[in-house]
Copies of this chain bind each other. A is one copy, B any other.
Amino acid sequence: MRIVVTNCNTTQSMTEEIVRGARAAAGPGTTVLGLTPAWGPESAEGWLDSYLSAAAVLDTLRTYEGPYDAVVMAGFGEHGREGVRELVDVPVVDITEAAAHLACLLGRRYGVVTTLERSAGQIEDSLDTAGVGRNCAAVVGTGLGVLDLGDPERTEAAFVAAAGRARDAGAEVLVLGCAGMTGLQRAVGEKLGLPVVDGVGAAVKLAESLVSLGLTTSRAGGYAKPLPKRRVWGPPSE
């Protein structure tokens, strides 16, 4: 089975890190291929970045010739999920919803620890529309930007502090709220005594599950195939 993992930003090193995390989670027969959008933001932090990223990821998949059996969208809280479901004929799993689905199986309430506080609203909306917002006790920020996650000690300390606030709000399970946090889950989980779900790994397992069960997106309703029409994917070159 071949899973395409799309980074939501243009930073190639982050794609590589995500692919490492995805491969660590993937089963023996699964090949993971990372795609970095050729355009978009270098990191997605806020609504404007998120919408720009959504179009760039759609364009990346639209022009990627495959073949592949599933798509994992590795932008936590980022937009585009439903558009990709329309576009491709294979199952699509977004790391935001994936982490929440698994977290619901591990405790009554989960909390998300993300990068900047400003992203909390986007993540809440993404969980709500995915249908898994009910058991989310809190979305809290660490105050670190996506590209500040390079320093593992600082990241871990900030994560643990934010996680405490999530636990106080009722979270019994934690979710890593950024694809760039992948790898942190084990160290942090031990320190906190709570299960920590990484969305990239969760999404890989859910994508494998859907593929092996022969399930894919319903075409009856909102995720029907895009209508044929004229679309221009980016500004005219000058």
CA distance A105 to B198 in the complex (A): 17
Given A121-B222, A131-B134, A210-B106, decide whether A41 and B101 contact each other with a Cβ distance below 8 A.
Answer: no
Interface string of A129-164 (1 = CB under 8 A from B): 111111100000000010000000000000000000
Interface pair B210/A52, CB less than 8 Å apart = no
A interface list, Cβ under 8 A from B: 10, 25, 27-28, 38-43, 45-52, 54-56, 58-59, 79-80, 82-87, 91-93, 97, 101-102, 104-109, 117-118, 120-122, 125, 128-135, 145, 167, 170, 172-173, 186, 193-195, 197-198, 201-202, 205-206, 208-210, 212-224, 226-227, 229-237
- Chain B residues positioned under 8 Å from A56 (CB to CB): 55, 232
Residue contacts A-B, CB under 8 angstroms, 12 given: A38-B232, A42-B230, A46-B86, A47-B86, A54-B54, A79-B79, A91-B105, A125-B129, A172-B218, A193-B219, A194-B220, A237-B237
Contact B194–A227 (Cβ < 8 Å): no
Residue contact B106 to A97, C-beta cutoff 8 Å: no
Contact B221 A107 (CB under 8 A): yes
Q: Are A25 and B217 in contact (CB under 8 A)?
A: no
Determine whether the beta carbon of B118 is less than 8 Å from that of A224.
yes
B206 touching A105 by the CB < 8 A rule? yes
- One of B59, B83, B122 near A50 (C-beta < 8 A): B83
CB <8 Å contact, B234 and A48: no
Assess whether A210 is in contact with B131, with CB atoms less than 8 Å apart: no
Contacts A121-B108, A220-B193: A52 and B46 contacting too (C-beta < 8 A)?
Answer: no
Say yes or no: A220-B172 contact (C-beta < 8 A), given A55-B52, A59-B235.
yes
In the bound complex, CA of A47 to CA of B81 (Å): 9
